[in-house]
Amino acid sequence: MSTSMLDVAGVLVSPDHYIDGERVPSEERFELFSPIDQRLLGQVAAGQPAHVEQAIAAAERAFPAWSAMSAAERLPYLDRFAEEIGRRADAFCTLESNDAGVLLSRMRHGVVPRAMLNIRWFAEHALGLQERPIDTQQAHHRVRHDPAGVVVIITPWNAPLMLSTWKLGPALAAGNTCILKPPEWAPLTCSLLADAAHAAGLPPGVFNVVQGIGATTGAQLVSDPRIARVSFTGSVPTARRIAQAAGANLVPCSLELGGKSPFIVLEDADIDAAAATGALMYRNAGQVCLAGTRFLVHERVAERFIAAMRTTVDGLCVGDPRGEATEVGPIIHPRQVERVLGFIDRAVAGGAQVLWGGQPHPFGAQYVQPTMLTGLSQDDEIVQNEVFGPVLTLQTFASDDEAVAMANGTDYGLGGVCYGDTAHAIAVADRVRTGFIWINSFGIRDLAAPFGGIKRSGIGREGGDWSFEFFCDVKDVVVPKKPFRPSFSHR
């Protein structure tokens, strides 16, 4: 057991792996810096082949006993897991704010309560998925949701706690054992999550955390033939590599990827409401896959909309995410800052006009002004590709048909927003090719509902029964109603 701990703003957290119920150190480590002010937070264990092997072996050993439990027997463990997350609420808030730059207020009031709910809700939902009868003329069918086996979960740096628990909840409730690979740019809340699981009494090997770099640690995990499922949220290029590695072993993957979602403002929209919602797209410094980043505004209301949204954006507080008044925090990493500013510079060089922002923010090295660009063509790079920063684009349209064509005119299809008269907005939204779309609203997420995208935005759905369909092997036990007499003539 390693005795070294990182002290992050008064919160002690282990930099080591968590395997088979114990902390496991590594001689190989990587440095971790805060996006707030680039200070060194410490050195974190980098997973080596031996650690990956150890974690898979531990998860395999734990699987028979954990999977043999009923959902009702697993429920108390997962309830305690949620309770232990709640007991560490302040620590989770401090760590993720310092490690990932997430707003402290958002962590306190949104993320931590949601993380607890992710564990509890799926544990309770699993109670109804034990067995489902189907009665036909020929036979009685007993449809079971059996645990798949050892699951690898890989989460991104923009929401490590929320997205880890979003996947762990159904995976563990279904009876799988799990290996979590945290994001290397923001791994600390995943490490603290292991402490919560340990305190909750989850049996050794049921939940493991192997930290490391995606190209090495992650690649070894997803290519191992003993893995039954891979659940990944992140970028399209990484997803392609994961799918290729897992595909060699025919391992199913759930891939929740990026977005370039439309924010449609129809002529009959409530302009002030649409503008206020539009400013929410800068939340988490725009590092949100489901944000509506392409504003498509009817030409007759574009001037009014721009003025209303500019007023709202001018009032946004950019700064230290630990401040209660802060509404826009830092970009996660210098490489991401370079990427975001590169998109802006190339767009402006190509003729785009800056409505507001467009520059680094004076608050600090990893801060970018909330930005809106216009004067763009549908095939422009910044219209077609995900920026993942506080950068939005605005185009106008003259008809519903034009708006729908523009909305559907990228390789992404994750989410969307549509503001207008409700019936009109629904009629337009029904024609937009996307995994989900909010009408006169944004960010409503119910655990019972499906979440996911189409095209380059991913494969599969998470939430409700859809999560269990992925994390389980669905088995049909068939009992004939009449004695079965085999015959070669039967087809």
Give tens-digit pLDDT for 120-161. 999 999 998 878 899 999 999 999 999 999 999 999 999 999
* Contact (Cβ atoms closer than 8 angstroms) between residue 108 and residue 94: no
What is the rounded distance in angstroms from the CA atom of residue 404 to the CA atom of residue 397? 9
Q: Do 319 and 337 reside in the same domain of the chain?
A: yes
Average pLDDT over residues 421-434: 98
pLDDT at residue 1 in the model: 40
Instruction: Let me know if residue 450 belongs to a domain.
Output: no
361-397 pLDDT per residue, tens: 999 999 999 999 999 999 999 999 999 999 999 999 9
- Of 84, 96, 256, 386, catalytic: 256
What is the rounded distance in angstroms from the CA atom of residue 117 to the CA atom of residue 295? 32
Q: Do 375 and 238 reside in the same domain of the chain?
A: no
pLDDT at 2 over 50: no
DSSP letter at 300? T
By C-alpha distance, which of 32, 43, 24 is closest to 96? 32
Identify the band that residue 487 occupies on the pLDDT scale cut at 50, 70 and 90: confident
Q: Helices marked H in 413-487 — which ranges?
A: 422-429, 464-471
Average pLDDT over residues 11-34: 97
Q: Do 319 and 291 reside in the same domain of the chain?
A: yes
pLDDT at residue 344 in the model: 98
Instruction: Let me know if residue 277 belongs to a domain.
Output: yes
CATH number at residue 270: 3.40.309.10
- Of 178, 289, 418, 472, catalytic: 289
Q: Compute the half-sphere exposure of residue 60: CA atoms within 13 Å on the CB side of its CA.
A: 11
Q: Do 351 and 471 reside in the same domain of the chain?
A: no
Instruction: Let me know if residue 451 belongs to a domain.
Output: no
DSSP letter at 254? E
3-state secondary structure of 118: helix
Instruction: Let me know if residue 172 belongs to a domain.
Output: yes
Q: Do 405 and 286 reside in the same domain of the chain?
A: yes
Q: Do 296 and 400 reside in the same domain of the chain?
A: yes
Q: Compute the half-sphere exposure of residue 198: CA atoms within 13 Å on the CB side of its CA.
A: 17
Q: Do 246 and 276 reside in the same domain of the chain?
A: no
pLDDT at residue 491 in the model: 54
**Whole domain around residue 14: which residue ranges?**
6-257+457-476
CATH number at residue 185: 3.40.605.10
Instruction: Establish whether 289 is a catalytic residue.
Output: yes
Q: Do 188 and 282 reside in the same domain of the chain?
A: no
What is the rounded distance in angstroms from the CA atom of residue 47 to the CA atom of residue 305? 50
* Contact (Cβ atoms closer than 8 angstroms) between residue 348 and residue 319: no
Q: Do 416 and 464 reside in the same domain of the chain?
A: no
Instruction: Let me know if residue 381 belongs to a domain.
Output: yes
Average pLDDT over residues 59-71: 97
Show the tokens assigned to 116.
């607890």
319-366 pLDDT per residue, tens: 999 999 999 999 999 999 999 999 999 999 999 999 999 999 999 999
Average pLDDT over residues 63-87: 98
- The domain boundary residue, chosen from 413, 439, 465: 439
Instruction: Let me know if residue 294 belongs to a domain.
Output: yes
| pTM for the model | 0.95
Instruction: Let me know if residue 297 belongs to a domain.
Output: yes
**Cα dihedral 161, 163, 168, 173 in deg (nearest 10):** 110
173-183 pLDDT per residue, tens: 999 999 999 99
Q: Do 240 and 286 reside in the same domain of the chain?
A: no
Q: Do 156 and 276 reside in the same domain of the chain?
A: no
Instruction: Let me know if residue 156 belongs to a domain.
Output: yes
233-271 pLDDT per residue, tens: 999 999 999 999 999 999 999 999 999 999 999 999 999
Write down the mean pLDDT value for the chain.
96
Q: Do 409 and 319 reside in the same domain of the chain?
A: yes
pLDDT at 413 over 50: yes
Q: How many domains does the chain have?
A: 2
- The domain boundary residue, chosen from 439, 465, 484: 439
Cα 84–chain centre separation: 22
